[in-house]
């Protein structure tokens, strides 16, 4: 909502400065986004008079003017052909910067003739359009030497105020003025609610009926109007045009400008119909049946749905014709123009709900909708009608009919209790009862009954937002100032509250942080990617169900909820590769979505590595990233989250977006999958336009068991006996997994064999085709006696037998 | 006697002249080995008369001890030399660069979330969570934003298509639905924060369709606006690490709080540089207020018994302000150069930034 200072002063007697007004509005909750003053750009431009004009000696298109400034006579070269002796012009002197970021003027020689300034055109001043490249001609009475901004009354700051949706009454200059007056920044001028009644001089020829079912009556409870005949429409006077232009509203004609003035001044939207364009003299206000189309004043055709409130007349065949989308926008066919002589002036109350419904479903924005939707003052339907009538009579002449009316004024006032005790309990602020009363009264409230510190408050008809005591508390607090709220320390956390808070999300939350830090420690950088992606990509990663597709996405590339964190990460890796970062390691912690229900949202950690495991270096060969690189990462994160990876099994069956032969899952039993990892499928990489190899993992944090262990650790028993390590190598079929061998070895002597490591995995010369040689070393840690050579020999043999039986392999000799 | 003296001089000289451990050993064998000259002398003692043996024994033993000591000393010296030579040969170039382990980073948004939630946890709040895909009820209606409320239009909501029952799910536009979910699940005192992703259909210089908020809710008997002010001033000062940070409350409007407030912190803007904490300017960073009675009722809490406050803040903005990150959109671009510059190391970020 834009308000100019001069307009505000029509309603408010004040000596406050612009910063004071801005500051006060902000402290009242009416945030001033900006204060602009059109004069700021035009200071220093003065009124001057041309005293002589001669042709430029060297250029046909230029003239050399002598210009009187009141202090001196200057020579100015001008390119326009309208300067003539006696003409009052706008002079810009050297040193002045032209508006809109133009150049700063200097004394220059133009084709050999010195010019000590510039005569300005309207467009150069940013004040309008030029005609035929002429300089701006000021009226003859313009006083030479006067500042242009003073002569044109341009020095009028405009406040751009962010009005919150609960304050329909502040979509009016009057409402803003009322707030400032309540805050002590001046006094309200005459209450316009008591607008002088303008009596009709003939019966109103137009009749209005409200045709609503009982349950729809709320939409338009009250409609008033009158005919004014013999009007002359045309451009409105300068004072009105300037007011509107200052706040960015384009003047149209007197009649339209008056309705805009009513909306902006009083939040009283109105409409004028050209009576000569009406079909019949019987208007009906009713819900649309649906399916109609309507050509509005904005020259757009709207398809109406049932229930939207419309105003109808009759077409030549006697059928109803829609002439207005009530409270939102009038129709093109019955709008006023310069030939209009008889108008029907509408002043009605439309409910916020019905206007919101219509406005939102059609997407129409208008000043009327903005105000009705936020609630206008129902008690000013009649007053507004008279006020606008008077303005029309003043500016357009004519004579008014009697007022026609349908329905009744709805009573939107409420009686709400208020007590200073409740205020203290709710805000911590102590306020004198008398002060609270005066605050509330200054806002238009009436205090009815009262005893002790509490009273009943009747809210004003324009404040639909005041419905309960808290609303009044806020009003008093606003006027007293939020600075009066004390700064009270929070009560301490009780032991019960503390232990309650340790339940629930805590361990899950901790895992998110532990995972992040573990991965950053492993060299991964954390990214945040969108939660939605292209549908095709979602499908590729096992998602893309219809329930996961947005109805109104920003673009098709962001249309579908991600079923996995990997596609976003792979894309990010690709973008980094494109920017010359050849070996990105990225991770993300966050949600992926498998369905619309809360439990379908899974929290996880995913990471990718692309390119090589490290830079080329004298010390390490930098191998391409592999299944094993990423497996290491997964184990690190799982361990950080408190899981013993030895307790998990590695199973096949990672999702199809992984390389089928170079991927696996970490599982607890066949049902619970903790993580999957491996090389990404080349098909996927191609689809996501990334060059491989790329390895990745997903850890399903929700699936990780919550440790039930308390802080108590098991007692430590250290064995005094010497541990022994032994090596063995087996020739095995290639399909035999290392896991099978390791577990077989471990199972042979559960209590003695504490670790099994693979030190060699060899295929090639010396090993039959289709086979591999697996070298392993295992460690025996006796707990109750030193192992004899015999013991060790026996265990070795048992291990060999077990492995051979379990795998069909043989000991490598 | 002269003979013994000569012998001693001879061997001492040879010991001194030994160039390496092997030649020293050769000398030792020659003198003290089984058939060594000195060993043979020692052996000859057995054939001597007691008187002579006693006399000679002292002399021979002295000779033997002296040579042994000389050999030990020489050996130590040779060994030291050998070690020195070996070490000299083993010299490595310490300036040769080691493998530069890739530097992992936490996203600055994570860091801001961590710092903010850590402070609030210390102030007694615990973390609550809620789903991103929400019902209209939790995101709007229960928060006192009925279907036609203008506030709905100001939040460009992402919707899903209606399901078979006609219900239209949406992506939460704010973390406030967690307030309702928490109130419906637990009894006061409720002192929670809900950090998380929120979504609005808006993508330009200053908006991303995904961003993060931290919601706070404290409901109990007797919790009033003074507590809200105390809590948020404390929070802002701790977060921005400035005990004198100016903080101001202004009236505002949110459908789910009454009274409502916006919270500004002091700042200055000079030459395009924003400095938090000094100067006469204000910067809005938080929205807050007393939980609307209707919202408490929607959360099955009796407003005649309990009252409380709620607040919400944008985490991206908090991160941008604290770390001086200029562009919101860069948060979601995943550019490694940006992450390495604005990100935080795994452990140097546990509290209070760098």
For residue range A269-289, list pLDDT tens digits in order. 999 999 999 888 999 999 998
Q: Does A754 touch chain B if contact means CB atoms closer than 8 Å? A: no
Sign of the Cα pseudo-torsion (A356, A362, A365, A369, in order): negative
Residues of A in contact with B111 (CB under 8 A): none
Where does the pLDDT of residue A98 fall: very low under 50, low under 70, confident under 90, or very high at 90 and above? confident
Antiparallel, parallel or unpaired: β A525-526 and A585-593: parallel
Q: Do A505 and B129 touch (CB under 8 A)?
A: yes
Q: Do A486 and B101 touch (CB under 8 A)?
A: no
Sign of the Cα pseudo-torsion (A260, A266, A269, A271, in order): negative
Q: Do A526 and B105 touch (CB under 8 A)?
A: yes
Nearest of A109, A79, A76, A110 to residue A93 by alpha carbon: A76
The answer to whether A254 and A181 have CB atoms below 8 angstroms apart is no
- The chain B residue lying nearest A372, using CA atoms, is B150
How many angstroms separate the CA atoms of A753 and A425, rounded? 70
Identify the DSSP state of A476: H
- The chain B residue lying nearest A497, using CA atoms, is B189
Q: Does B151 touch chain A if contact means CB atoms closer than 8 Å? A: yes
Q: Does A484 touch chain B if contact means CB atoms closer than 8 Å? A: no
Mean pLDDT calculated for residue range A797-803 = 94
Query: B16-25, B270-279, B285-294, B344-353 — which is least confidently predicted?
Result: B344-353
Q: Does B137 touch chain A if contact means CB atoms closer than 8 Å? A: no
Antiparallel, parallel or unpaired: β A320-325 and A329-330: antiparallel
Q: Does A28 touch chain B if contact means CB atoms closer than 8 Å? A: yes
Antiparallel, parallel or unpaired: β A207-210 and A282-287: parallel
Q: Does A572 touch chain B if contact means CB atoms closer than 8 Å? A: yes
Over pLDDT 70: what percentage of chain B?
Answer: 96
For residue A661, the distance in angstroms to the closest alpha carbon of chain B comes to 28
The larger pLDDT score, comparing residue B175 to residue A621, is at: B175
Residue B350 has pLDDT above 70, yes or no: no
Q: Do A593 and B133 touch (CB under 8 A)?
A: yes
Where does the pLDDT of residue B2 fall: very low under 50, low under 70, confident under 90, or very high at 90 and above? low
- Predicted confidence at residue A161, as pLDDT, reads 95
Most confident of A206-215, A304-313, A473-482, A640-649: A473-482
Q: Does A467 touch chain B if contact means CB atoms closer than 8 Å? A: no
Where does the pLDDT of residue A55 fall: very low under 50, low under 70, confident under 90, or very high at 90 and above? confident
Q: Do B225 and A165 touch (CB under 8 A)?
A: no
How many angstroms separate the CA atoms of B168 and A440, rounded? 42
Residue B104 has pLDDT above 80, yes or no: yes
Q: Does A353 touch chain B if contact means CB atoms closer than 8 Å? A: yes
Alpha helices by DSSP H, listed for chain B, are 2-17, 21-32, 37-44, 50-89, 108-122, 136-139, 150-154, 177-185, 225-239, 293-298, 315-323, 336-342
Residues of B in contact with A548 (CB under 8 A): 160
Residues of A in contact with B334 (CB under 8 A): 527-529, 572, 575-576, 586
Residues of B in contact with A614 (CB under 8 A): 99, 101-102
For residue B86, the distance in angstroms to the closest alpha carbon of chain A comes to 23
Residues of B in contact with A552 (CB under 8 A): 158-159, 201
- Exposed/middle/buried for residue B268 (C-beta within 10 Å: 0-12, 13-18, 19+): middle
Where does the pLDDT of residue B352 fall: very low under 50, low under 70, confident under 90, or very high at 90 and above? very low
The answer to whether A448 and A456 have CB atoms below 8 angstroms apart is yes
Over pLDDT 90: what percentage of chain A?
Answer: 66
- Predicted confidence at residue A154, as pLDDT, reads 84
Residues of A in contact with B230 (CB under 8 A): 486-490
- The chain B residue lying nearest A423, using CA atoms, is B224
Where does the pLDDT of residue A397 fall: very low under 50, low under 70, confident under 90, or very high at 90 and above? very high
Residue B354 has pLDDT above 50, yes or no: no
Task: Choose the closest CB to B226 out of A165, A486, A505.
Answer: A486
Q: pTM of the predicted model, to two decimals?
A: 0.86
Nearest of B222, B220, B232 to residue B120 by alpha carbon: B232
Q: Does B191 touch chain A if contact means CB atoms closer than 8 Å? A: yes
Residue B155 has pLDDT above 70, yes or no: no
Q: Does B253 touch chain A if contact means CB atoms closer than 8 Å? A: yes
How many angstroms separate the CA atoms of B56 and B9, rounded? 18
Task: Choose the closest CB to B230 out of A489, A500, A526.
Answer: A489
For residue range B318-349, list pLDDT tens digits in order. 999 999 999 999 999 999 999 999 999 988 66
Interface test with B, best of A30, A365, A516 (most B CBs within 10 A): A516
Task: Choose the closest CB to B259 out of A474, A583, A584.
Answer: A474
Q: Do B226 and A505 touch (CB under 8 A)?
A: no
Give the CB-side neighbour count of residue A604, counting CA atoms within 13 A.
25
Residues of B in contact with A576 (CB under 8 A): 334-336
Q: What is the mean pLDDT of chain A?
A: 91
- Predicted confidence at residue B1, as pLDDT, reads 52
Chain B neighbours among A 164-223 (CB < 8 Å)? 164-167
The larger pLDDT score, comparing residue B261 to residue A134, is at: B261
> What number of other Cβ atoms are within 10 A of residue B288's Cβ?
24
DSSP, residue by residue, B127-192: E----SEE-HHHHTGGGT--TT-HHHHHS---BBPP-TTS---EE-SSSTHHHHHHHHH-PSPEEE
Q: Do A596 and B163 touch (CB under 8 A)?
A: yes
Q: Does B207 touch chain A if contact means CB atoms closer than 8 Å? A: no
Residue A209 has pLDDT above 70, yes or no: yes
Q: Does A490 touch chain B if contact means CB atoms closer than 8 Å? A: yes
Identify the DSSP state of A145: T
For residue range A286-345, list pLDDT tens digits in order. 999 888 889 998 889 999 998 899 999 998 887 889 999 999 999 888 999 999 999 999
* A705 upstream amide cis, omega within 30 of 0: no
Residue A175 has pLDDT above 70, yes or no: yes
Q: Do A470 and B114 touch (CB under 8 A)?
A: no
Identify the DSSP state of B26: H
- Predicted confidence at residue B353, as pLDDT, reads 40
How many angstroms separate the CA atoms of A49 and A646, rounded? 97
Interface test with B, best of A354, A358, A521, A525 (most B CBs within 10 A): A525
């Amino acid at each position: 909502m834009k308000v100019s200072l001069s307009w505000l002063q029509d309603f408010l007697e004040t000596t406050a400065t612009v910063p004071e007004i801005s500051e006060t509005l902000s402290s009242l909750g009416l945030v001033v986004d900006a204060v602009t003053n059109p004069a700021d750009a035009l200071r220093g431009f003065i009124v001057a008079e041309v005293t002589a004009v001669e042709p430029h000696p060297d250029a046909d298109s230029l003239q050399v003017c002598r210009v009187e400034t009141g202090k001196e006579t200057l020579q100015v070269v001008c390119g326009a052909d309208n300067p003539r002796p006696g003409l009052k012009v706008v002079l810009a002197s050297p040193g002045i910067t032209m508006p809109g970021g133009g150049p700063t003027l200097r004394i220059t020689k133009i084709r050999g003739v010195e010019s000590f300034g510039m005569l300005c055109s309207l467009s150069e001043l940013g004040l309008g359009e030029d005609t035929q490249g002429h300089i701006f001609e000021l009226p003859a009475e313009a006083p030479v030497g006067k500042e242009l901004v003073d002569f044109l009354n341009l020095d009028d700051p405009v406040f751009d105020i962010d009005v919150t949706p609960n304050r329909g009454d502040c979509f009016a200059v009057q409402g803003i003025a009322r707030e400032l007056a309540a805050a002590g920044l001046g006094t309200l001028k005459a209450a316009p609610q008591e607008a002088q009644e303008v009596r009709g001089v003939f019966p109103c020829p137009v009749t209005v009926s409200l045709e609503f079912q009982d349950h729809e009556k709320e939409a338009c409870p009250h409609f008033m109007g009158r005919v004014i005949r013999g009007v002359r429409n045309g451009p409105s006077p300068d004072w009105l045009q300037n007011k509107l232009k200052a706040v960015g509203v384009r003047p149209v004609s007197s009649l339209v400008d008056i309705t805009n003035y009513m909306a902006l001044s009083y939040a009283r939207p109105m409409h004028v119909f050209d009576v000569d364009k009406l079909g019949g003299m019987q208007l009906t206000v009713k819900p649309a049946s649906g399916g109609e189309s309507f050509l509005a004043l904005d020259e757009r055709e709207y398809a109406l749905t049932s229930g939207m409130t419309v105003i109808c007349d009759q077409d030549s065949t006697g059928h109803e014709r829609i002439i207005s989308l009530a409270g939102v926008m009038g129709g093109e066919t019955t709008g006023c123009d310069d030939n209009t002589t008889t108008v029907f002036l509408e002043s009605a109350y439309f409910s916020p709900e019905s206007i919101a419904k219509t406005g939102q479903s059609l997407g129409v924005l208008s000043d009327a909708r903005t105000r009705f939707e936020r609630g206008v003052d129902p008690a000013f339907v009649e007053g507004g009608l008279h006020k606008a009538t008077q303005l029309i009579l003043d500016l357009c002449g004519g004579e008014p009919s009697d007022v026609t009316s349908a329905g009744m004024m709805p009573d939107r006032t409420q009686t709400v209790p208020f007590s200073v005790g409740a205020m203290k309990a709710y805000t911590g602020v102590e306020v004198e009862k008398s002060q609270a009363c005066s605050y509330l009264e200054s806002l238009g409230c009436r205090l009815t009954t009262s005893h002790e510190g509490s009273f009943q408050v009747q809210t004003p008809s324009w404040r639909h937002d005041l419905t309960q005591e808290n609303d009044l508390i806020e009003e008093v607090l606003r006027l007293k100032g939020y600075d009066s709220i004390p700064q009270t320390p929070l009560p301490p956390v009780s032991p019960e509250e503390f232990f309650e808070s340790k339940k629930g999300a805590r361990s899950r939350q901790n895992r998110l942080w532990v995972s992040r830090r573990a991965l950053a420690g492993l060299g991964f950088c954390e990214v945040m990617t969108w939660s939605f992606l292209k549908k095709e990509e979602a499908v590729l990663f096992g998602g893309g169900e219809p329930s996961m597709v947005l109805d109104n996405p920003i673009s098709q590339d962001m249309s579908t909820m991600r079923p996995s964190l990997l596609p976003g990460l792979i894309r990010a890796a690709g973008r980094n590769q494109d920017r010359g970062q050849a070996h990105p390691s990225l991770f993300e912690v966050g949600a992926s979505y498998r369905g619309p229900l809360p439990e379908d949202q899974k929290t996880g950690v995913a990471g990718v590595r692309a390119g090589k495991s490290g830079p080329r270096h004298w010390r390490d060969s930098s191998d391409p990233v592999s299944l094993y690189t990423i497996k290491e990462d997964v184990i690190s994160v799982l361990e950080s989250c408190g899981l013993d990876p030895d307790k998990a099994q590695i199973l096949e069956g990672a999702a199809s977006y992984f390389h089928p032969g170079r991927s696996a899952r970490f599982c607890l039993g066949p049902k619970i999958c903790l993580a999957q990892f491996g090389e990404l499928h080349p098909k996927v990489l191609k689809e996501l336009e990334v060059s491989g190899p790329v390895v990745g993992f997903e850890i399903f944090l929700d699936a990780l068991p919550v440790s039930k262990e308390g802080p108590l650790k098991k007692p430590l028993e250290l064995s005094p006996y010497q541990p022994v390590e032994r090596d063995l190598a087996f020739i095995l079929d290639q399909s035999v997994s290392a896991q099978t061998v390791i577990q077989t070895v471990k199972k042979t002597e559960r209590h003695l064999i504490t670790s099994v490591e693979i030190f060699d995995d060899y295929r090639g010369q010396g090993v039959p085709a289709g086979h591999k040689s697996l070298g392993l070393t295992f460690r025996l840690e006796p707990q109750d006696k030193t192992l004899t050579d015999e013991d060790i020999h026996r265990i070795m043999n048992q291990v060999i037998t077990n492995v051979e039986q379990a795998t069909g392999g043989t000991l490598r000799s | 006697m002269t003979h013994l003296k000569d012998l001693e001089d001879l061997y001492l000289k040879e010991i001194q002249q030994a160039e390496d451990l092997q030649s020293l050993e050769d000398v030792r064998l020659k003198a003290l080995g089984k058939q060594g000259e000195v060993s043979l002398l020692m052996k000859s003692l057995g054939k001597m008369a007691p008187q002579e043996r006693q006399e000679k024994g002292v002399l021979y033993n002295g000779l033997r001890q002296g040579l042994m000591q000389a050999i030990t000393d020489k050996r130590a010296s040779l060994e030291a030399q050998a070690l020195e030579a070996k070490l000299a040969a083993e010299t490595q170039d310490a300036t040769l660069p080691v493998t530069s382990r890739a530097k992992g980073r936490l996203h600055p948004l994570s860091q801001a979330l961590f710092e903010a939630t850590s402070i609030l946890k210390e102030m007694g709040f615990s973390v609550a969570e809620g789903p991103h895909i929400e019902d209209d009820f939790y995101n709007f209606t229960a928060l006192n934003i009925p279907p036609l409320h203008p506030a709905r239009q100001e939040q460009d909501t992402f919707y899903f298509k209606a399901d078979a029952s006609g219900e239209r799910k949406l992506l939460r536009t704010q973390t406030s639905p967690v307030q309702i979910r928490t109130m419906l699940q637990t009894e006061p005192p409720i002192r929670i924060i809900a950090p998380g992703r929120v979504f609005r259909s808006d993508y330009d210089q200053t908006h991303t369709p995904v961003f993060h908020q931290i919601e706070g809710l404290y409901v109990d008997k007797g919790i009033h606006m003074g507590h809200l002010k105390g809590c948020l001033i404390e929070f802002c000062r701790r977060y921005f690490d400035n005990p004198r940070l100016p903080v101001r409350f202004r009236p505002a409007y949110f459908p789910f709080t009454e009274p409502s407030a916006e919270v500004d912190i002091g700042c200055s803007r000079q030459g395009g540089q924003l400095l938090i904490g000094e100067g006469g300017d204000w910067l809005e960073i938080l929205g807050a207020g007393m939980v609307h009675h209707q919202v408490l009722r929607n959360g099955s809490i009796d407003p005649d018994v309990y009252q409380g406050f709620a607040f919400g803040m944008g985490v991206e903005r908090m991160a941008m302000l604290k770390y001086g990150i200029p562009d919101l959109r860069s948060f979601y671009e995943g550019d490694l150069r940006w992450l390495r510059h604005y990100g935080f190391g795994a452990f140097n970020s546990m509290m209070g930034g760098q």
